[in-house]
Amino acid sequence: MKVSYNWLAEYFDAPLPSPEEVGELLTFHAYELEGIEQVGNDYVIDVDILPNRSGDSLSHRGIARELATLLDCQLKHDPIRGAIEEMKKSNICSVEVVDTELCDRYTSAVIQGVSIGPSPDWLKKALETLGQRSINNVVDATNYVMLNMGQPLHAFDADKLAGDTKKILVRTAKDGEAITTLSEDTYTLTPETLLITDAVTDTPIAIAGVKGGKHADVDSNTTNIVLESAHFNPTSVRKTTQRIKLFTDASQRFQNNPSAELVGYALHDVVKLILEIAGGTLEGGSEVRGAVQGPEVVTVDLVHINGLLGTAITVEEVSDILERLGCIHDVSGEVFTVTPPFERRDIVIAEDVIEEIGRVYGYEHLEAKQLPEIEKKPEVHKGFYFADSVRNVLTEAGYSEVYGYTFRSKGVYEAINALASDKRFLRTNLSEGLNEYLEMNTHNAPLFGVDRIKIFEIGTVFTKEGEHISLALGVSGKKTDTILNDTKTLLERTLGVSINESPENNVLEINFTQLIDGLQEGERYEPFEKNFTMYTSYSPYPFITRDIAVWVPEGTTSESIKEIISAETGELMHSVRLFDEFQKEGRVSYAFRLVFQSMEKTLTDEEVNPIMDMVYKTLAEKSYEIR
């Protein structure tokens, strides 16, 4: 949620610490911070409120209250504390709620004779600083109070409701019933959706807790309004938004179950603000109230607190923190009976209170403590033991390991919500993927200094029988069966087991889960070397290869020739590799493969040819014969 620093500051007598310090306090004691941005003479602090605190903290008041706890001070005024004047019963608009499970509190107020117009500058600025659009004074007032208190509100044009006496009916939708919203989108609804309707004409005027309808919207000609402040069932609102895929500031708040106590305070404040900035007179209000949940009373003791946090906090310190949090509490010896403030619906069990104490006390006070020694010794994981061992054998034999993608275009198990149409299924084998990786890497074989690509993967596959671990080896080029069968023999010998599967299309795929079934793992995993290699990005551009063969006198090493070549080739050379060698009549022939590649562009023959000419020239000058 985006909050204004200046708006928060209005809650305090003393000046607030700097925006950065406020951000830091919130980060280390309460929420996550997305960022701080200067907007005019204000700062917008973007606070990520997670679900546990979304019931109380999606509001300036909520975040100011949190700051007051952390700064150990009082709020100058708290809009959700104290008694509020009861409204006289409205003669114009009544309310009926059919199902109080879905709406346990609905209040309304009628204001007559408002003048719709632009909002005063302070209000426009407050909304626009937070990136909200100013619409008109009445609508802005409802948004302002929501951003301040966390209670969504709505204003209807009273004259667009039928009859001399109006009636609002809160009921679920009829199957196929449609509503057009303020933004002119039409939704066809199912009976699970809760609606606010005009009871006289049986017309929907809002999707409860989500969005207002076009039918009774406030426009420039509106003079009489009905204000709504209500509490809706969080699960019902959540299911509605998911069903119709409409997510609003209101639905975000309602689905996180703010306290139903906010309803009265918010209605009071929004009436007051509208009378101030849009004029008119309050005619009266209505209220339907079902069984509203009250706060939980939680018992927690000091041993439990310190036992979970690892701290040595005293009874007095706990008492002080609970006080700062606004929790009413009794202490009996070391046992605390805690009643959280009504808006903190997330504090339900002892551990919730312990978290509150821990974060206010400050996690920076925690030491890093090692676990005690225990008698129980760790066991070796059979699957990992053999996977690790097979990796050692295969890499020794020249195979490199790939980690492939689980999602493929064919399979047995299909994702309902796939990322792409060719990634709808879970793989049934590793072979298909491995063949693609073989082909892709074969193009780059010269870069790896190999004549053929040898790769393997160990991973989960999903077949009709369920999931199991598979091992697949792939080799590029011709006569791959021979190579794969040699490796198969190597694996059989190392593991002491026989492998039933045979190579097919350049790949040998083995049911690894089955293979190791009857085997006995060792007492410890095989040794390994720690890897600290830093990654370097590779060129995205194609490379060019050149082969060169040269006759040298017997006794001349290939290394010395390689050095001569390397000295002439410069930074465009990726690598040089000896790929052939034979002796004849007192001379040796060395054949090298040179690979050229640029980090900046696609190389052309025009760039490589002069380099090769220099190589030929230098070798010739040393009296070596180029073949």
Partner 1 sequence: METQKGHKHILSQAIREITEIFTGMGFTFVSGPEMTNDHDNFEVLNFPDDHPARDMQDTFYLKGGGLLRTHMSALQVGHMRESEPPIRVFAPGKVYRNEATDATHEAQFYQVEGMCIDTDITLEHLKGTLETLLKKYFDDENIVTRFRPGYFPFVEPGVELDMKYKGKWIELLGAGMIHPMVLTNGGIDSSEYSGFAFGMGIERLVMIKHDVGDVRKFHDGDLRFVTQF
449 binds partner 1 (CB under 8 A): yes
Nearest-approach distance from CB 4 to partner 1, in angstroms: 23
610 binds partner 1 (CB under 8 A): no
The size of the interface with partner 1 (CB under 8 A), counted in residues, is: 104
Beta-carbon contacts of residue 570 (< 8 Å; ≥ 6 apart): 611
Q: Report in angstroms the alpha-carbon separations of 242 from 102, 190, 247, 248, 457.
A: 17, 13, 8, 11, 39
Stretch that binds partner 1, among 48-56, 158-166, 181-189, 327-335 (CB under 8 A): 48-56
Nearest-approach distance from CB 219 to partner 1, in angstroms: 34
Question: How far apart, in Å, do the first and last CA atoms of the chain sit?
Answer: 73
The DSSP result for 32-76, as a single string, is: EEEEEEEETTEEEEEEE--GGGHHHHSSHHHHHHHHHHHHT---S
Nearest-approach distance from CB 403 to partner 1, in angstroms: 5
Query: Any idea how long the chain is?
Result: 627
202 binds partner 1 (CB under 8 A): no
Stretch that binds partner 1, among 124-132, 163-171, 289-297, 436-444 (CB under 8 A): 436-444
24 binds partner 1 (CB under 8 A): no
Sheet holding 507-511, edge to edge: 400-401, 454-463, 466-475, 507-511
Which one of 414, 504, 517, 625 is in contact with partner 1 (CB under 8 A)?
414
The identity of residue 182, as a single letter, is L
| Beta carbon nearer to partner 1, 27 or 38 | 27
Q: Where are the alpha helices (DSSP H) in 217-327?
A: 234-244, 249-254, 262-278, 302-309, 315-324
436 binds partner 1 (CB under 8 A): yes
Mark 524-563 with x for binding to partner 1 (rule: CB under 8 A) and - for no binding.
-x--x-xxxxxxxxx-------------------------
| Beta carbon nearer to partner 1, 220 or 524 | 524
| Beta carbon nearer to partner 1, 31 or 265 | 31
Q: Taking CB under 8 A as the criterion, which residues in 469-528 touch partner 1?
A: 525, 528
Q: Taking CB under 8 A as the criterion, which residues in 131-170 touch partner 1?
A: none
35 binds partner 1 (CB under 8 A): no
303 binds partner 1 (CB under 8 A): no
| Beta carbon nearer to partner 1, 286 or 511 | 511
* H or E segment and range at residue 391: helix 382-396
Q: Taking CB under 8 A as the criterion, which residues in 387-406 touch partner 1?
A: 387-388, 391, 394-406
Which one of 76, 77, 133, 381 is in contact with partner 1 (CB under 8 A)?
381
The token duo for 435 is 């063949």
How far is 340 from 331, CA to CA, in rounded Å?
14
Mark 565-594 with x for binding to partner 1 (rule: CB under 8 A) and - for no binding.
------------xxxxx-------------
455 binds partner 1 (CB under 8 A): yes
| Beta carbon nearer to partner 1, 88 or 443 | 443
Stretch that binds partner 1, among 52-60, 103-111, 169-177, 194-202 (CB under 8 A): 52-60
The token duo for 12 is 């305090």
30 binds partner 1 (CB under 8 A): yes
51 binds partner 1 (CB under 8 A): yes
605 binds partner 1 (CB under 8 A): no
Q: What angle do CA 120, 124, 129 make, to 5 degrees?
A: 150
Q: Which of 17, 15, 57 is nearest to 33 (CA)?
A: 57
Q: Report in angstroms the alpha-carbon separations of 479 from 433, 474, 475, 483, 580.
A: 20, 12, 9, 7, 20
Contact by Cβ (8 Å): 134, 140:
yes
Beta bridge mates, 475: 454
In terms of phi and psi (left: phi > 0; alpha: psi -120 to 50; beta: otherwise), the region of 480 is alpha
32 binds partner 1 (CB under 8 A): yes
Computed over its alpha carbons, how large is the radius of gyration of the chain? Answer: 37
How far is 222 from 526, CA to CA, in rounded Å?
80
The token duo for 431 is 């072979």
How far is 57 from 351, CA to CA, in rounded Å?
20
Nearest-approach distance from CB 240 to partner 1, in angstroms: 11
Nearest-approach distance from CB 164 to partner 1, in angstroms: 41
Q: Taking CB under 8 A as the criterion, which residues in 350-379 touch partner 1?
A: 351-352, 354-355, 358-359, 363-364, 366-371, 373-374, 376-379
29 binds partner 1 (CB under 8 A): yes
344 binds partner 1 (CB under 8 A): no
How far is 99 from 171, CA to CA, in rounded Å?
7
Q: Report in angstroms the alpha-carbon separations of 360 from 18, 25, 69.
A: 20, 10, 8
Nearest-approach distance from CB 262 to partner 1, in angstroms: 18
313 binds partner 1 (CB under 8 A): no
Q: How many C-alpha atoms does 372 have within 13 Å on its Cβ side?
A: 2
Nearest-approach distance from CB 582 to partner 1, in angstroms: 11
In terms of phi and psi (left: phi > 0; alpha: psi -120 to 50; beta: otherwise), the region of 449 is left
Nearest-approach distance from CB 170 to partner 1, in angstroms: 21
Which one of 231, 454, 488, 546 is in contact with partner 1 (CB under 8 A)?
454
Nearest-approach distance from CB 498 to partner 1, in angstroms: 24
Q: Taking CB under 8 A as the criterion, which residues in 216-255 touch partner 1?
A: 235, 238-239, 255
